[in-house]
Structures are given as C-alpha cells and as structure tokens.
Amino acid sequence: MIVGIAGAGLIGGSVAKAYSKSGHRVFIYDKDKNTLDYAILSGVAEGELTDEILGECDLLMVALYPTDTVAYMREAAPKLKRSAVLIDCGGTKETICREGEKLAAEYGFIFAGGHPMAGTHKSGFRNSSEDLFRGAPMVVVMEENGDILLMEKIKNILKPLGFSRIVFADAKNHDRVIAFTSQMAHIASNAYVKSETAERISGISAGSYRDMTRVAYLNEDMWTDLFMDNRDNLLFELDSYINSLTEYRDALAAGDETKLRELLKEGREKKERLDGAGDKA
C-alpha cells in the first residue's frame, strides 16, 4: 500500500513506523519542517506527502488535533482517489466524523473515524514507536457499521499497527464515554498536582501519588483542543465529580464518620461491581 500520514507526532510517527516496518510505502505531512525532514532522513518515510502523492494513496491516516484534522480533511478530500480509505486518529469523534462522512459522500472515498487507545505522556516523533499500538484496542466509527465486508476491510488495513482488537462504536457514545474514562482523569490529575503540598512530598509518597499524577504531565495544546471539542460531555462529568467531592468534604467538615464511611463503602462497592462486570465481558 501507499500510506499517507498527516501529522508526525507521537501517534502519527508511530503509525508511520509500524507501516514502514511492514513494508508499505509511507509518505508524511507535518507543518514542522524539521520534524518532516527527520522522519524522511531516518528512513521511516519515503518522502513528503504532497498533493500528487495524495492522489496515489491507498490509505490516508490523519493524526492531528481535532480542529486541524477537519481543516486537513477538507483540503485533502478532493485529491483522494475513490478507492482510498481515510482514517483519522482523533481523541474525539462527533465533529470529525460528521465532516469525514460528508466529505466521503461527496468525493467517493471510504471514511472511518479512529481512536487508537494507546499513548504515553511523552510527545513528538522522537518518542514514537512502531510498537506503540501493539496489544492496545482501536475504536473505529463508521457510518455503515453493519457492512461486514467494509468492517473486515478496515480491520485488514489496520493489521500492521498490531491492535489487540478493533471495537466498532458510534461517535456520540464514544465521546460521552471518553469524557469519563480519559478526559476527566487528565483534568483531575492536572488539578490534583497543583496543591502546595506537592512541593513538600520528598520521600513521603508511594504508588498512589505516582498513579494519580501520571497524566498530569500532558500536552496542553492538544488536550485543550480535545476538551473544548467535547466540552458538553466533559462538563457533565466535571459537575458529577465536583458533587461527589463535595459530599466527602461536607462529611469531613461535619466530623460525620458514619457518612464518610458510607461514601467510601459506596465507592469501593461500585469499583468491585465494575471490575466484576469487566471480568465477565
């Protein structure tokens, strides 16, 4: 295959390395010329993803911020051949998929929204890896989720990335769930580490602190774009979390051990139910 990749950051770079290792011809676009040149000189990409190459691509994967993804798809769509497949790698899906499906209908190529459920707190092409996605799930959003042949085609196209499974979902549900499972965790971690006590923890911390603060180390430009694109779902989760935290605070302020114990018990039991449901799934 001829594979075009727009965006040579952690995700796009990892996509490029995986396809290149599998023997596919890879071409890359990135607005940063130094990153683009490095990707080509390192041998990961055969060359720059130009308008001419876009017209030859069998697969175009877009790994840009949500607003940049929409703009790039609009620019690239008229140049793609009708047999091409376009898959984005954005962390939110409703806005991107709405535009991708419209462009696919207009220009005749195949579009699928994608969200590789893998990453690290480090960013950039130099931190990308051909094995980043190995063993991780990939969420795919397609307008025709019932088309078995098309779903198999997408699965086969994505095989070089090494995902453990492909999960087909609708965009609306994806964005609601991801606000809870990913975006809220990043906000909670980022806010938690701002306590003035964080400056005085030397030697007095263990796994809980490390786990809680891991994702506080984030790319603020990318996550601002993701949060704003999914703000209604994220506001719902924030309000729910703040309400729960207020209950714990009120119990502590009132010295109400019974209420505090009840709140802690509720949380533990819910976690047990969730873990049990996951084991059975």
User: Domain check: are 269 and 148 in the same one?
Assistant: no
3-state secondary structure of 26: strand
This prediction has a pTM of: 0.88
User: Domain check: are 132 and 194 in the same one?
Assistant: no
Residue 254 CB: number of other CB atoms within 10 A?
10
Q: Of 122, 150, 170, which one is at a domain's C-terminal end? A: 170
User: Domain check: are 271 and 182 in the same one?
Assistant: yes
Q: Of 170, 202, 231, which one is at a domain's C-terminal end? A: 170
pLDDT at 281: 46
Give the mean pLDDT of 52-69. 96
pLDDT at 20: 97
Point out the least confidently predicted range of 105-114, 197-206, 237-246: 197-206
| In the chain, % of residues over pLDDT 70 | 98
pLDDT at 82: 95
Q: State both tokens at 255.
A: 């010295």
pLDDT band at 145 (very low <50, low <70, confident <90, very high): low
User: Domain check: are 83 and 17 in the same one?
Assistant: yes
User: Domain check: are 208 and 254 in the same one?
Assistant: yes
pLDDT digits (tens, 9 = 90+) for 94-123: 999 999 999 999 999 999 999 999 987 788
Identify the CATH number of the domain in which residue 63 sits: 3.40.50.720
User: Domain check: are 146 and 268 in the same one?
Assistant: no
pLDDT digits (tens, 9 = 90+) for 262-274: 999 999 999 999 9
pLDDT at 203: 79
Give the mean pLDDT of 211-232. 93
- What is the count of structural domains for the chain? 2
Question: Residues of 71-104 as b/e, b for ≥16 C-beta within 10 angstroms?
Answer: ebbeebbebbeeebbbbbbbbbbbbbbebbbebb
Residue 218 CB: number of other CB atoms within 10 A?
17
Q: State both tokens at 188.
A: 């909670």
Give the mean pLDDT of 13-40. 96
- The mean pLDDT of the chain is 94
Rounded CA gap, 194 and 217, in Å?
Answer: 12
pLDDT > 60? residue 256: yes
pLDDT digits (tens, 9 = 90+) for 156-166: 999 999 999 99
Q: Calculate the dihedral angle through the C-alpha atoms of 118, 140, 111, 33, rounding to the nearest 10 degrees.
A: 0
pLDDT > 90? residue 144: no
Q: State both tokens at 68.
A: 């940049």
User: Domain check: are 53 and 134 in the same one?
Assistant: yes
User: Domain check: are 124 and 197 in the same one?
Assistant: no
User: Domain check: are 196 and 269 in the same one?
Assistant: yes
pLDDT > 70? residue 278: no
Identify the CATH number of the domain in which residue 272 sits: 1.10.3660.10
Output 41 or 122, whichever has higher pLDDT: 41
Q: Which residues contact 180 (CB under 8 A, 6 or more apart)?
A: 237
pLDDT > 70? residue 191: yes
Q: Of 103, 135, 170, which one is at a domain's C-terminal end? A: 170
User: Domain check: are 106 and 195 in the same one?
Assistant: no
pLDDT band at 279 (very low <50, low <70, confident <90, very high): low
What's the domain range around 58?
Answer: 2-170
User: Domain check: are 118 and 166 in the same one?
Assistant: yes
Q: State both tokens at 172.
A: 């609306």
User: Domain check: are 27 and 154 in the same one?
Assistant: yes
pLDDT > 90? residue 142: no
Quickly list DSSP for 92-131.
Answer: --HHHHHHHHHHHHHH--EEEEEEE----S--SGGG--TT
Class of residue 6 by CB neighbours under 10 A (exposed 0-12, middle 13-18, buried 19+): buried
Give the mean pLDDT of 198-214. 88
Residue 158's Cβ-side half-sphere holds a number of Cα atoms within 13 Å equal to 29
